[in-house]
Amino acid sequence: MGDERERHFNLHTTPEVMAGVYANFATVSHSDYEFTLTFSRVDHEVEAEEVPGVVVSRISLSPRAMRELIDAMEDNWSKWHTREGIKGLPEYREDRPDYGTGSS
């Protein structure tokens, strides 16, 4: 058997980094060795052929880290999509204190 021990990460950051940055556009590129995600904020309201924008973050990942990121994003998307679908059901009401408890 391989080493399957559970690991816990204790990561620290500054308040500025924790605040994050807003991006409304992203591109993905790759080489033989890495994937690069470039996040930008662009002005979609501009009608011109050339859309102005600014790169707010650029991240390079190994292929293994990229696969793990894709898996994590698919898992989170599925959970979000399921929750949003439940909100559309007629019996769902956020103001009901007993919602989800199995009692009426």
pTM of the model: 0.70
Provide the residue range defining the domain that includes 82. 63-92
3-state SS, residue 100: coil
Token couple for 46: 């501009």
Per the domain annotation, does 39 fall within a domain?
yes
Q: Do residue 46 and residue 75 come from a single domain?
A: no
Tell how far CA 20 is from the center of its chain. Answer: 12
> Mind listing the pLDDT tens digit for each residue in 58-97?
999 999 999 999 999 999 999 999 988 887 777 766 665 5
Decide: residue 36, CB within 10 A, 0-12 exposed, 13-18 middle, 19+ buried: middle
**26 occurs within a structural domain:** yes
Q: Has residue 99 got a pLDDT over 60?
A: no
Q: Is residue 13 part of a domain?
A: yes
Q: Is 31 within a domain?
A: yes
